[in-house]
């Protein structure tokens, strides 16, 4: 990967960070998500909620069931399932609730991860494998049901910028003494415009403020949901409403890299071998719901979503009266729920279209006002 990036830099002299991140994560056969490597779970680079506990999938399944209940032919589409843990947990809980979707569709960019997902489902739920279908692109035929995406938005390439009130810079990469180095360039009109809007929403920044935004978020999300005729899209990720994300104090942005359970902020250290992420601007995601023709049906923390979907009842059920098992599940639940762990920095957002019912997962806490959307 490093050699491919060096060739790109030798050819162009400078590339934007968005381009760098795109290549480092997704370059065919070389990028972090495209090449084969053990990425998730205890032996990987980071741990996601479905990898922490099947309680997460059990609660998500309850929310899916509520949406699928009135549909004769409902499907679930999961975007970016990683190892496939969430798919297994959602399918097995829906089966036990007698609420299986007609199809469980999977959209995954990584061929390696597709095989891993197929292997896990084949081992754990072989009888349900015929119901699962891997798509080569977003569905084109209209369907009713649920779209799920856990920790996918944070992996979309971002543009990095340095703010000056006179002229904004876009941060990119050059080669300096044979090494990758940050290098600013006068930002394009589009990046400057985006930065001005973010600065205004945050109440202004000092000179030299560095942060990022995701230029492709809206278009990407629209493509993902365009075929959902009726139902809900559920987005889970770490992030904040815009006014909190772009606080003046957060003057180096939220760019993070993950490699072997360590988090650090140097994206040049292990290109192709480390994950690169940034928090999600949930105001931007909420704005995209309206332009996609969806209603913003809920925004809450992961803890409140899981509590509303009955994580306590799921714990009792999964433990089945076994105290050791219950203690293990309680430890997992703490990781999912505690504010200092995943409970508060991870959020859940729901978009709905053509759905009469309210979603129970968002009934305990409504944080939509924090997004500061126009009335």
- Residues 19-38, interacting with ligand SAM (CB under 6 A): 33
Tokens matching residue 209: 């403020």
Total site size for ligand SAM, rule CB under 6 A: 19
- Residues 44-73, interacting with ligand SAM (CB under 6 A): 48, 50-51
The reply to whether 341 sits near ligand SAM by the rule CB under 6 A is no
Q: Tell me how far, at minimum, the Cβ of 109 lies from ligand SAM, in Å.
A: 4
The reply to whether 235 sits near ligand SAM by the rule CB under 6 A is no
Q: How many CB atoms neighbour CB 305 within 10 A? A: 32
- Residues 105-124, interacting with ligand SAM (CB under 6 A): 107-110, 113
The reply to whether 237 sits near ligand SAM by the rule CB under 6 A is no
Judge whether 255 and 365 are in contact, CB under 8 Å. Answer: no
Q: What is the DSSP annotation of 235-302?
A: EEEEEE-HHHHT-TT-TT---EEEETTEEES-TTSSTTTSEEE--EEHHHHHHHHHHTT-EEEEEEEH
d(CA 304, CA 311): 10
Residue with the closest Cβ to ligand SAM? 80
The reply to whether 332 sits near ligand SAM by the rule CB under 6 A is no
The reply to whether 180 sits near ligand SAM by the rule CB under 6 A is no
The reply to whether 150 sits near ligand SAM by the rule CB under 6 A is yes
Which residue number, 152 or 309, has a Cβ lying nearer to ligand SAM? 152
The reply to whether 152 sits near ligand SAM by the rule CB under 6 A is yes
Judge whether 135 and 106 are in contact, CB under 8 Å. Answer: yes
The reply to whether 144 sits near ligand SAM by the rule CB under 6 A is no
Which residue number, 47 or 367, has a Cβ lying nearer to ligand SAM? 47
What is the dihedral angle through the alpha carbons of 85, 91, 95, 101, rounded to the nearest 10 degrees?
180
3-state secondary structure at position 78: strand
Helix and strand totals (H; E) in the chain: 13, 16
The reply to whether 274 sits near ligand SAM by the rule CB under 6 A is no
Binding site for ligand SAM (CB under 6 A): 33, 40, 48, 50-51, 79-82, 86, 107-110, 113, 150-152, 155
């Amino acid at each position: 990967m490093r050699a491919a990036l060096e060739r790109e830099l030798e050819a162009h002299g400078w590339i934007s960070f968005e381009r760098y991140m795109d290549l480092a994560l997704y370059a065919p056969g070389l990028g972090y998500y495209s090449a084969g490597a053990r990425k998730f779970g205890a032996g990987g680079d980071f741990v996601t909620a479905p990898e922490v506990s099947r309680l997460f999938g059990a609660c998500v399944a309850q929310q899916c069931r509520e949406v699928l209940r009135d549909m004769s032919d409902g499907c679930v589409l999961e975007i970016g399932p990683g190892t496939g843990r969430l798919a297994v947990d959602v399918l097995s809980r829906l089966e036990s609730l007698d609420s299986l979707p007609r199809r469980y569709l999977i959209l995954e960019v990584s061929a390696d991860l597709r095989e891993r997902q197929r292997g896990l489902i084949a081992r754990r739920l072989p009888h349900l494998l015929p119901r699962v279908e891997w798509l080569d692109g977003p569905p084109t035929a209209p369907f009713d049901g649920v779209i799920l995406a856990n920790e996918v938005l944070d992996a979309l390439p971002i543009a990095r910028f340095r703010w000056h009130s006179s002229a904004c810079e876009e941060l990119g990469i050059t080669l300096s003494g044979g090494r990758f180095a940050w290098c600013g360039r006068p930002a394009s009109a589009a990046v400057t415009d985006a930065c001005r809007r973010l600065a205004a929403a945050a109440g202004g920044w000092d000179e030299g403020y560095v942060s990022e935004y995701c230029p492709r978020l809206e278009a990407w999300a629209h493509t993902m949901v365009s075929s959902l005729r009726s139902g809900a899209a559920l987005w889970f990720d770490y992030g904040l409403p815009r006014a909190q994300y772009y606080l003046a104090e957060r003057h180096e942005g939220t760019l993070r890299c993950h490699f072997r359970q360590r988090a650090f902020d140097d994206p040049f250290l292990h290109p192709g071998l480390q994950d690169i992420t940034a928090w999600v601007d949930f105001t931007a995601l909420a704005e995209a719901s309206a332009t996609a023709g969806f209603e913003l049906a809920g925004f809450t923390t992961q803890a409140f979503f899981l509590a509303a979907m009955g994580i306590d009842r799921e714990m009792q059920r999964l433990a089945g009266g076994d105290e050791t098992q219950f203690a293990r599940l309680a430890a997992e639940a703490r990781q999912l729920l505690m504010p200092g762990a995943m409970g508060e920095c991870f959020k859940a957002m729901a978009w709905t279209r053509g759905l009469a019912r309210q979603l129970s997962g968002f009934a305990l806490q409504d944080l939509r006002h924090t997004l500061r959307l126009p009335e």
